[in-house]
Structure 1
Amino acid sequence: MEFGTLERQVHVEASPEVVFEVVSRPEHIREWWSDDASLDAVAPGAVGELVWRDGVDSQVESFTVVDVDPPRRFSFRWVTSEGETAKEGNSLLVTFDLEPSATGTTLRLTETGFREKGWEVAVLEEAYRDHERGWDLFLPRLVAHAATVAA
């Protein structure tokens, strides 16, 4: 396995406009992904934070919005070293592509940049597998939350 590009596709029973809001707005992100989320603005270059809490510990991950094309695409860079500005080569790029379907939206998630981080093979493989497990857990939550928003 190359551990270079992670791809997932799900069907969401909601319009692309609703799904775009669910993947790009902190008040919705908190419902399906992280325990807390903040974002300056839904615009390229905007920065935000995702927070996951585990008992007394918290994991905080900064992200930078890359592309905003409502209701078709939302992308951001994350997983940078502390103090670094997210850019190609030092971060992962997550892209949500949204396409209308007969009964809702097809959401295609792509996460790239694993190899470009320069991690040793064991670290690369573990990071890739960790993100696989994460998206496999969180995407069904996204689908369920979007359906409630649409209703």
Structure 2
Amino acid sequence: MGSIRITKQFTFETGHALFGYDGKCRNVHGHSYKLSVTVIGTPITDTDHVKLGMVIDFGDLKTIVKEEVVDKFDHATVFNKNTPHIELAKELSKRGHNVILADYQPTSENMVIDFASKIRARLPKNIQLHSLKLQETETSFAEWFAEDN
């Protein structure tokens, strides 16, 4: 039996600001992100296995992505840890807001690299992460492909 790719899609709301940027995105703002996660593997052929015919149970993939990405980033504000907005970040955190201080500039490109690393680490050994697509707006997105990395 050949390899099959399956995809699960997720949505979450996240705010961010791009420090040092020369456009509007230097201001704190938010996006309704759409994340498509595609994995590749061989469907289970063991007729006694409860997940016969599946590459991975969509529910299992959902659990991984929710725990590693969606639950952490949904309704959070992401700043580069070196941002001049650090005082704002500290104040928001003190007031109970979900603030993430990332080791990177929180662009879609860097976020999708971060997400790929987190998801890959949690997948079963027989399942490979094929690609991620992180859509920031209706017309703008970043993609990560395993074959490119």
TM-score with structure 2 setting the length: 0.30
TM-score with structure 1 setting the length: 0.30
Q: Which has the larger radius of gyration?
A: 2
